[in-house]
Amino acid sequence: MSEKHQAWGWMLAVDFFFAGMGGAMLVIAAIIDLFIAPNQVSLLGNILGPLCMCVGCGFLILELGRPMQAWRVFMNPKAILTFGAWTMTIAIISGFAYASFGIKSSLIFWNEGDFLRHLLALVNIVTGLVVATYPGVLLGRHKGRPFWVGPGVMGLFLLSSMVTGLALHCLCAIVVPVEGSVLSSLPKVIAALLLVQALMWVGYLWIKASGTTAAESASAKRWINGDLAKGFKIYFMLIGTVVPMILFLTPIAFFHGLAALMVLFGGVMMRIQIVTSGKDRTFLPGELQYRSRLPKGDEKFLKKAWM
């Protein structure tokens, strides 16, 4: 059986990145609007939230294969993938509807009142949190993938989604300035969350490497001193976490924009590494023997059957 059937590819990692970041952007904008100060998030940021989720959906469809049959993912109510697809669809629709309140046009007649905007903000918080957390839930349920299994990966994905969502909102505020002081405090908030992210990753790897099964320990050691160590230590921890954390603490807007880009890079690299680590897996009793007996695709009886 080919590796394609054994593990997901980089397109799923990119889907996780854009979908999680987009969902977090909806949550952040809604929280600021409802509980801190209205109209403090740029229109660009409000549009990019659902747009990022659309990009993620596109990569997911390509990764699953057979794009013309993508509608089937909505048809199994018992599957977690179906739940995620419907939740993301609702989040995208609600997100674009919420963003429309920032567009000044006579054609958008519903943007005068606050009730609908507040209602959409609540929907965005619920669905956005689900979308931001969903990749971690999806991976954590795979008991045969030692690095993924457990609730810890869910927290890592949610935190990374919030960090990248805040970073993109911060970048949007630099590109399209917004009046008010709320967004000016985002760099310090992001710096604090980056510190929490670094500590959570150290704890996660320590637990996996020292206090779990032999398979989980081996998978974690790939991140510590194995083939995934360079990507984790340099690309994610140094470039995507530590350096931007320092830059966000400076008062210079240019450094904030640079730090935001570095955080986005680190978020992509983290997800690529996690998906790559899914190639490590444990097998059920007798599964390897069963797979060794499967046809490889070039057997004589298969050729005869198809000719």
In this predicted structure, what is the pLDDT of residue 16?
Answer: 92
- pLDDT bracket for residue 305 (50, 70, 90): very low
User: pLDDT digits over 240-284, tens only?
Assistant: 999 999 999 999 999 999 999 999 999 999 999 999 988 877 766
Residue 230 lies in a domain: yes
Q: What is the pLDDT of residue 181?
A: 60
Report the CATH number at residue 271: 1.20.1630.10
Q: Does 295 fall in a domain?
A: no
Q: Which residues contact 11 (CB under 8 A, 6 or more apart)?
A: 59, 60, 62, 63
Q: Please provide the size of the chain in residues.
A: 307
* Integer Cα distance of 289 and 241 in angstroms: 43
Per residue in 170-221, pLDDT (tens digit) is 999 888 887 766 777 899 999 999 999 999 999 999 999 987 788 889 999 9
Give pairs for 282-291: CB < 8 Å, separation 24+.
Answer: 282/143, 282/144, 282/146, 282/215, 283/144, 284/144, 291/1
Q: Residue 210: count other Cβ atoms within 10 Å of its Cβ.
A: 10
Q: Classify residue 27: in a domain, yes or no.
A: yes
Residue 208 has which token pair?
Answer: 């996996």
Contact 163, 170 (CB under 8 A): no
Residue 298 resides in a domain: no
And the tokens for 94?
A: 């609600």
Question: Is residue 270 one of the residues assigned to a domain?
Answer: yes
| 91/18 Cα distance (integer angstroms) | 13
Q: Is 100 helix (H, G, I), strand (E, B) or coil?
A: helix
Instruction: Calculate mean pLDDT across residues 29-40.
Output: 88
Residue 34: pLDDT band with limits 50, 70, 90: very high
Cα gap 262→234, rounded to integer Å = 12
pLDDT tens for residues 95-127? 999 999 888 777 777 777 788 889 999 999 999
**Closest of 32, 71, 30, 62 to residue 49, by C-alpha:** 30
pLDDT digits (tens, 9 = 90+) for 2-13: 444 455 778 889
Residue 293 lies in a domain: no
Q: Looking at residue 215, what is its pLDDT?
A: 87
- Domain region containing 206: 3-282
Query: Does 305 map to a domain?
Result: no
pLDDT tens column, 136-181: 888 888 778 889 888 899 999 999 999 999 999 999 988 888 776 6
Q: What is the pLDDT of residue 76?
A: 75
N-to-C CA span, the chain: 23
Instruction: Work out the burial of residue 82: count CB atoms within 10 Å of its CB; fewer than 13 is exposed, 13-18 middle, 19 or more buried.
Output: middle
Query: Average pLDDT of the chain?
Result: 86
pLDDT of residue 38: 82
Predicted confidence at residue 126, as pLDDT, reads 96
Say which residue, 68 or 224, is predicted with more confidence.
224
**Band (300; pLDDT cuts 50, 70, 90):** low
Domain count, the chain: 1
Q: How far is residue 49's CA from residue 265's CA, in Å, rounded to a whole number? A: 17
- 10: which residues sit within 8 A by CB, 6+ positions away? 272, 275
**pLDDT of the residue at 145:** 86
Cα(248)–Cα(82) distance, integer angstroms? 38
The answer to whether 161 touches 20, Cβ cutoff 8 Å, is yes
For 107, 110, 126, 261, the CA distances from 103, given in Å and listed in that order, are: 10, 11, 24, 27
210 assigned to some structural domain: yes
